[in-house]
Structure 1
Amino acid sequence: MKKIILATAALLMVSNVAEARDQIKIVGSSTVYPFSSYTAEALGATSKFKTPVVESTGSGGGLKLFCASNDMDSPDITNASRRMKEKEFATCQKNGVKYITEMVVGYDGIAIAQSKTTAAIDLTRKELLLAVAAKVPNKDESALIDNPYHYWDEINAKLPHRKITIYGPPTSSGTRDAFEDMILKHNTKHWKVYNDAGFKKFHEIRQDGVYVPSGENDNLIVQKLAKDTEALGIFGYSYLAENTDSIGAATIEGVGPAPETVQDGSYKLSRSLYFYIKQSHVGKVPGIMEYSDLFMSERMIGDKGECAEIGLIPLPAADRDHYRANLKAMTRLTADDLKPKK
């Protein structure tokens, strides 16, 4: 009997060792990916910890993996280019992921980009809506119709006679969520023809080939713009900043994406960037707090930080201090935190 007990204990020890990990698992946003992976490489190069594994799964995909389980084979951290949704938090709670800390690392502007070989274009948010929405108003705005527009000058005669093709993120992407919020929902929530049709915040994107979902690798969109020079592409500002030799940005209502226009809000397609920590894995997977501290440090996200050099737009100093204090205290995210502000 004693041998059986010892053997069982040994098996449990082996099982626990197998369950434990010595390498952090990070998933989520393709927009946050360059900054997260840069920080991961820095942690691996300058500390005793292994370089964390960072996967670009999209914000929605990352949160789905993060909230699916509290087991040690689930991600420790997920990145997001929009805030966690109430229903995602509820899924986390249901699946045992009870304690979560939310960090904001900086700002991003959603760039509407094109080949530098093509004449610059200025668009309004309403014109973007009319280009991508599945349903648009008819001429007298008495009803919604299937989107008939295939050239920009059909939307506004002052725009060029240029085919509408837009390479953008898929439904799993936080950039897609943010684009839908800022372009479709923003424009339709008080537009009578949409409200009369039963839509308070219409956000359905057309599926007739004009809008082309292009995966979670934003570099692929950059490559497509080099070949399809009349097309537009949608992705985070950092990918624009890294490819200024070949692509430029459309202006939105006369303003282009840049660190100062995103920070002051004059560029209307701006958003915050997040990462979420699974508190139950802290202390079990080595390096989670050290990685998080490094990511939130002045070295990485300060005004002259290394992530700013590759396209991250810094938070104001007071906000950086606020989130660092939350990290130190491991402040827990609550359902009330995620409720829309009235």
Structure 2
Amino acid sequence: MKLNKLAMAATFAVTTAATAGVAQARDQIQIVGSSTVFPYTQAVAEEFANKTGKPAPVVESTGTGGGMKIFCQGLGEANPDITGASRAMKQSEYELCQQNGVTDITEVLIGYDGLSIAVSKKGEQLDVSKKDLFLALAAEVPVDGKLAANPNQTWKDVNSSLPDTKIQVFGPPPTSGTRDAFVELVMREGCKEMDFYKGQDKKYIKANCSRMRQDGLFIEAGENDNLIVQRLEADPTAYGIFGYSFLYENQDKLQGINVGGVAPSFDTIADGSYSVSRPLFFYVKNAHRGVIPGLDEFLAEYVSEEAMGPGGYLNERGLVALADDKRAEVQDAVKNGKHMTRYETTN
């Protein structure tokens, strides 16, 4: 392991030397990735700068997928040190990193978040099933025994117990980890509740239950979740999809809708009764540790009890804290730069 880290450090040094004529060595940590993880990382960046007097890390909200592409471009000061993610790194992304020399990565589970479907405080609170959400938002749904373009225009068309108001939902784009999670946790699960899809394999479900409608009733709102909040404030008949932290921070303006009779909250996300929940991560290049000034100290701050523990400042911003044993495991992995091996195979 020590030889591997030395090799990575040497590679980083060569890459940095090659770019030295273009720009001076940077003194700020660079972070990209998920819009959901962004506010947590930004909070840690501010705390780190206040405590150490070092420059605050530069944090960009690029979306999970976009962040992975940037993160995996290579080593050296021209490339970011960390990427946030609202889902686990995919095998294809891991392989891209490997191809570009980013071979020593630590995966850091920071806590849990619920995917909230929210509406203005002035709007109508709904209680929907995953099947209802699928029928409202899917590109194609069963019509007279076969798949057809989604004809549902109002919530009442979806379920007679729901209001007769037009379906209008703002949500994340395909590059977002929030979109990936919503498709997996809601769309595919919702279609499985329908007789039409009974007995179909995972490949069929993935191919036919993943696409969001594109007729104007589902609106891709970009990677900035705050823009969705603003649009919901402006239109009480519209609904929006984003991480629970944004709902928590805007409780004076918004309310979450129930999914399967359960509202999103710290308790329901932590105990799993709110079924639309997911883990949040960040990934760090171990070759950059000890090279980029302040990176080790920033990582220590991120996984400290003061930050990610129960009652910590990330918990206060909406992050659901890990159990004590899991949190200790994560803290140890960060301290020792544990190498991610999920996609590695042995010969």
Matched residue, 1:57: 62
Which residue, out of 50, 70, 74, partners 1:69? 74
The Cα of 1:22 is off from its aligned counterpart by 1.0
- Cα distance in 2, alignment partners of residues 110 and 231 from structure 1: 17
Gaps of 5+ in 2: 1-16
Q: Tell me, yes or no, if the aligned pair for 2:63 and 2:176 is still in contact at 8 Å.
A: yes
- Residue 189 of structure 1 and its aligned partner are, at CA, apart by 5.5
* RMSD, aligned α-carbons: 2.1
1:252 matched to 2:259? The reply is yes
Whole-angstrom distance in 2 between the partners of 1:94 and 1:233: 37
Tell me how far 1:306 sits from its aligned partner.
Answer: 0.7
Amino acid at match of 2:165: R
TM-fit CA distance, 1:317:
1.1
Q: What does the per-residue CA deviation read over 1:63-104, in whole Å, with 9 as the maximum and x for residues that have no partner?
A: 110011223211100001111111100110111110100001
Aligned residue among 306, 316, 321 for 1:309: 316
Aligned residue number for residue 5 of structure 1: none
The SS at the match of 1:336 is coil
Looking at structure 1, the residues matched to 70 and 127 of structure 2 have their Cα atoms a distance apart, in angstroms, of 38
Contact 1:144 1:193 in 2 (8 A): no
Shift of 1:192: 6.2
Residues 176-198 of structure 1: CA deviation (Å, up to 9, x unaligned): 00000001222346866453997
Q: CA 1:102–1:337 in 2, change beyond 3 Å: closer, same or farther?
A: farther
> Is contact 1:135–1:144 with CA below 8 Å preserved after alignment?
yes
| In structure 2, C-alpha distance between the alignment counterparts of 1:334 and 1:222, rounded to whole Å | 38
* Secondary structure of residue in 2 paired with 1:293: helix
Greater gyration radius:
1
One-letter amino acid of the structure 1 residue matched with residue 255 of structure 2: G
Equivalent residue in structure 2 for 1:169, among 163, 167, 172? 172
Counterpart check, 1:110 vs 2:142: no
1:288 to 291, 295, 300: 295
Of stretches 272-281 and 190-199 in structure 1, the one that deviates more from structure 2 is 190-199
How far apart in 2 are the matches of 1:235 and 1:73? Answer: 31
1:280 Cα shift? 1.2
* Contact 2:133-2:190 within 8 A present in 1 as well: no
Change (3 A) 1:196 1:34: closer
Residue 335 of structure 1 deviates from its aligned partner by: 4.0
Q: What residue number does 1:275 align with?
A: 282
Q: In the TM superposition, what are the counterparts of 1:118-197 in structure 2 within 5 Å?
A: 118-139=123-144, 142-188=145-191, 193-194=196-197, 195=200
Provide the secondary structure at the position in 1 that maps to 2:333.
Answer: helix
Letter in 2 for 1:243: N
Partner Cα separation in structure 2 for residue 186 and residue 326 of structure 1: 33
Gaps of 5+ in 1: 1-11
Q: Provide the C-alpha distance between the structure 2 equivalents of 1:337 and 1:31, rounded to a whole number of angstroms.
A: 28
Q: Please name the residue that 2:5 is paired with.
A: none
CA deviations 1:87-144 (Å, max 9, x no partner) are 10011011111010000111100110001112211010110011111110114xx211
Overall identity of the aligned pairs, in %: 44
Q: Secondary structure at the match of 1:207?
A: coil
How many angstroms does 1:150 deviate by?
A: 0.8
Distance change (3 Å), C-alpha of 1:306 and 1:230: same
Query: Contact between 2:129 and 2:190, CA under 8 Å: does it hold in 1?
Result: no
**1:19 Cα deviation from its structure 2 partner:** 5.1
For the 8 Å contact 1:108–1:236, the answer to whether it is kept is yes
> Which range moves more in the overlay, 197-206 or 185-194?
185-194
Counterpart residue type for residue 174 of structure 2: T
Partner deviation per Cα, 1:233-287 (whole Å, 9 max, x = no partner): 0011111111111110100011011000000000011001100001111111011
Give me the whole-angstrom Cα distance separating, in 2, the residues matched to 1:116 and 1:189. 32
Q: Which residue of 2 aligns with 1:94?
A: 99
Q: Specify the SS of the correspondent of 2:311.
A: coil
Equivalent residue, structure 2, for 1:4:
none
Residue 119 of structure 1 aligns with an amino acid whose one-letter code is E
Moved more, 19-28 or 244-253: 19-28
Distance 2:19 2:286 in 1: 24
How far off is 1:288 after superposition?
1.2
TM-aligned CA deviation for residue 172 of structure 1: 1.0
Decide which of 325, 331, 343 is 1:336's aligned counterpart: 343
